[in-house]
Amino acid sequence: MNDDTYRKVARRSAVSRYNGRWKGFRLATATTAQVKLHNRHQVLDYIYRHHGSSKQDIMRDLDMSLPTITQNLRDLEAEGLIQRGGLFKSTGGRKPQRYVFNSQARLSIGVRMTAKQIIVCAVNLRGACVKRASGRLPYAHSAAYYHRICQFVNQFIDSLGVPSRTILGVSFCMQGIVSSDGQSITFGEILGNTGLTTDTFSREIDYPCTFIHDSDASAMTELWLDPKIDNALCVYLEPYMGGAIIIDGRLRQGSSMRNGTIEHMTLVKDGAVCYCGRKGCLDAYCSARVLTQNREESLEEFFNQVRDDEYTHRRVFNIYLDNLALAIKNMRTVLNCDVIVGGQAGQYFTNDDMADLKARVQRLDSFPDCEFTIRKSACTTDQDVLGAALTFVERFIDEVCGR
């Protein structure tokens, strides 16, 4: 997290303090146990937001007594959630002890199964990937395949060499729509796995297992890396495209987890056939594979040709941008907010492409004063795998820091 992150989150907690409510109970009526828990949350939250804090820092900023801080630091250190991180420079007198959050106190596992391979990442409590593994394992909706996935994940977790209580859980980012409890696939036409449940994995993996839609997972990483995002439409131009919705700084998946499933927005009536069985869906026009279909080339090769102004490639990209602009124009009539573009194709977009796309959207817009920000996604490696793992991290941090 950067300093802006801290400021933003600090602003939010300042608001909740001002309201005099802590998670639903009022200050005046809080029991001793609640006050104790609140103090503990405050101390840990403070240390999490800062890269090294002294007792004096905490005392000054949290308005808490020294004995209370000392007791909480002792407890949190005993539980392994914080560590001593050397000494601060002396400002006269004894050098103050520096306390830091132990980002390795827990790890979360993100998994991605694609048509050709499996990718597994371990993510710490700061959202950093501490270990990654991948293997060639063609997807098959079969017991034998899932058994091999479980073996792969279990071997990966063993290789981390940490006590089992360190692992928060295993989160699978899926090319499909996930049930609201994250336990089953309600629409898995791409890989033919509709009906798959986490039980298939929980039978062999001794940690909580959950599913998350891959676009939502990518948006989780987006938010984690840039918590300043308030409202945004995320558009992921993956081989099978997808979208996600961020409102008030949170991923909003909707009651049936189908917010932002822009891939099935009808762009052309009776148009090209989509894998969902209908015609004219956006996926058939704006997924990354549209750019390379019918040609034996990679996306990198495609964009090299575009940059060289090769006629056919330029033309394909031109039509692609027109379709994408129309889709974004339509999306923005429902949610009038900023747009983030990412995914395997999006990562090749230049600043000029983004400006071009924005101009196309503005030309289509019904309102002449249409102004918005369109920008590229973080486009980090394994963005969706990390985002999947972050679901457990976020939940844990929310819990231990009383957010």
* Token pair belonging to 361: 């959207």
Taking the complex as a whole, the smallest distance from the CB of residue 213 to Zn ion amounts, in Å, to 15
Q: Residue 254 CB, nearest distance to Zn ion (Å)?
A: 17
Task: Output the smallest distance, CB 380 to Zn ion, in A.
Answer: 28
Torsion on CA atoms 242, 259, 127, 114, rounded to nearest 10: -40
- Window 213-252: contact mask with Zn ion (x via CB under 5 A): ----------------------------------------
Window contacting Zn ion (CB under 5 A); options: 258-266, 344-352, 369-377, 391-399: 258-266
Query: Is residue 40 part of the contact set for Zn ion (CB under 5 A)?
Result: no
Q: How far apart are CA 283 and CA 289, in angstroms?
A: 9
Three-class secondary structure assignment of 212-256:
EEHHHHHHHHHHHHCCCCCCEEEEECCCCCEEEEEECCEECCCCC
| Pairing state between β 242-247 and 250-251 | antiparallel
Candidate segments 40-48, 139-147, 256-264, 299-307, binder of Zn ion by CB under 5 A: 256-264
Nearer to Zn ion, 106 or 264 (CB): 264
Please identify, using beta-carbon distances, which residue of 80 and 271 lies nearer to Zn ion. Answer: 271
Q: How far is the CB of 258 from Zn ion (least distance, A)?
A: 12
* Among the residue ranges 83-91, 215-223, 253-261, 274-282, the one whose residues contact Zn ion (CB under 5 A): 274-282
192 alpha-carbon distance from chain centroid: 24
Cβ closest to Zn ion, residue 283 vs residue 382: 283
Closer CB to Zn ion, residue 253 or residue 287? 287
Residue 315 to residues 286, 312, 353, 364: CA-CA distances in angstroms?
14, 5, 14, 20
Confirm or reject binding of residue 281 to Zn ion (CB under 5 A).
yes
For Zn ion, the binding residue among 82, 225, 233, 274 (CB under 5 A) is 274
Q: Which is nearer to Zn ion, 286 or 325 (CB)?
A: 286
Q: Which is nearer to Zn ion, 127 or 242 (CB)?
A: 242
Task: Determine whether 294 is exposed, middle or buried from the number of CB atoms within 10 Å of its CB (0-12, 13-18, 19+).
Answer: exposed
Rounded to 10°, the helix 32-49/55-62 angle is: 120
In terms of CB distance, is 6 or 275 closer to Zn ion? 275
Segment near Zn ion (CB under 5 A); pick from 161-169, 260-268, 315-323, 359-367: 260-268
Sign of CA dihedral 330, 335, 336, 338: negative
The first and second tokens of residue 243, run together, are 């979208």
Listed in order, strand segments (DSSP E) in 88-139 are: 97-101, 107-113, 117-123, 129-136
CB nearer Zn ion, residue 251 or residue 281: 281
Give 27 or 273: the residue with its C-beta nearer to Zn ion. Answer: 273
- Binding residues for Zn ion, rule CB under 5 A, total 5
CB of 141 to Zn ion, least distance (A): 20
DSSP 281-299: BTHHHHSTHHHHTTS---H
Contact criterion met (CB below 8 Å) for 223 and 249: yes
For residue 197, the one-letter residue type is T
Binding part of the chain for Zn ion, among 10-18, 47-55, 147-155, 261-269 by CB under 5 A, reads 261-269
Please report whether residue 276 would count as binding Zn ion according to CB under 5 A. yes
264 touching Zn ion, by CB under 5 A: yes
Check residue 286 for interaction with Zn ion (CB under 5 A): no
Q: Where are the alpha helices (DSSP H) in 161-231?
A: 199-202, 214-225
Q: Which residues bind Zn ion (CB under 5 A)?
A: 264, 274, 276, 278, 281
